[in-house]
Amino acid sequence: MLERAMGGTRIVRVQLRRPDLRRPFPPRFAARLTGQTVTAVDRRGKYLLAKLASGEALLVHLGMSGSFQTDTRRGGREPLAVDPHDHVVIELSSGVVVTFNDPRRFGLMDLLSVERMNEHQAFRAMGPEPLKRGFDAAALARACAGKRAALKVVLLDQRLVAGVGNIYASEALHHARLSPRRLASTIATQSGAPREAAVRLAAGIKAVLRKAVERSQRPARGDRFLVYERDGERCLRRGCPGTIRRITQAGRSTYYCPTCQR
C-alpha cells in the first residue's frame, strides 16, 4: 500500500507534530523531504526505505505500535479530527496524505545517503532478508548449525536473519510448531543441512513477516497475534487444547504454547 501511495509522487508538504519519536528528527528533516520525488519504496530488515530523487532515502522503523495510514485530502483542508498519535503527516502531489501514527513512540525516522546506505548503523552486519530470494530452509539451517543457544534467542540476532524481532520470532515459532527453548542447532544436521524443522521455520518466518508488512500499512482493526501477549489464553491452533505461556529469554518476553510447540 505504501509503495502504491508514494512511489513516483512528489512530497509537497511535511508536518512534524512533535520534535521527536524514539530519537529526534534529523536536522532540516521536513525541508529535505519537501519537493522531493519518491523514486522507490523498499524494505531492509525492520526498516522501510523511501528513496528520493535527491539521492537520500527516508528510513522508517515502526517500533512496536507504528503504522502508516493514507487518505485523500482535497483543497488543502485538514481532516475533521486529528489523532494525537499522528506524529508525521506527508502530503503528496497526487493528493494522497500519508500519516505516521505511533501511540508508543518507539518508531524512528532518519535520512541517509542511498550510496552509503550499508554504512548506516542500522544496516551494518545485517543478515539476509527473509522475504528475498535466497533465504530458505538451507540458509536458515546454515545460520543455526552448531548454535547451542535457544532457537528464539538465535532468531533475534540480526546478523543471522534480518527483520525478525521479538514479536515475530514468537509468532514464527508458533507457526512452525517449534519450542522457543529448543536448541537452534537441532534444526540442522551435523553438516549444516536443513532438517524438516528448518523447512517449517523458514516458511513460518516468511508468513508472519508478510502479515506484519500488511499490518504496518493499515490501521489495526482488532486483529491479534497468535501467541504474543496472550499468556493464559487458549492456543488458537485448531484442535490444540493448550494454553499460551510467557517466559523470559535473553531479557525478552517469549510467548508460546507448550502443548503444540516442541
- pLDDT tens across 55-86, in order? 999 999 998 889 998 887 644 555 545 789 99
Lowest mean pLDDT among 105-114, 159-168, 204-213, 221-230: 221-230
pLDDT of 262 strictly over 60: yes
Q: What is the 3-state secondary structure (H, E, C) of 219-234?
A: CCCCCCCCCCCCCCCE
Residue partners of 240: CB distance under 8 A and separation at least 6: 257, 259, 260
Listing DSSP states for 19-58 in one string gives SBSSSBPPTTHHHHHTT-BEEEEEEETTEEEEEETTSEEE
Percent of the chain residues topping a pLDDT of 90: 72
State how far Cα 72 lies from the chain centre.
26
Under CATH, to which class is 137-256 assigned? Answer: mainly alpha
Question: What amino acid occupies position 31?
Answer: A
- pLDDT tens across 116-143, in order? 888 888 887 788 889 888 899 999 999 9
- Domain coordinates of the chain in residue numbers? 2-119, 137-256
Percent of the chain residues topping a pLDDT of 70: 93
Residue 80's pLDDT is 41
Distances (CA, A) of 44 to 41, 109, 137, 184: 10, 14, 20, 24
Which residue has cell 536536522?
27
* Stronger pLDDT, 189 or 212, i.e. the higher one: 189
State how far Cα 96 lies from the chain centre.
23
Residue 143's pLDDT is 93
Assess whether the region 2-119 and the region 137-256 belong to the same CATH fold.
no
Residue partners of 110: CB distance under 8 A and separation at least 6: 23, 26, 58, 59, 120, 122
* Topology of the domain comprising 2-119: N-terminal domain of MutM-like DNA repair proteins (3.20.190)
- pTM, to two decimals: 0.70
Residue 218's pLDDT is 56
pLDDT of 170 strictly over 60: yes
Residue 126's pLDDT is 85
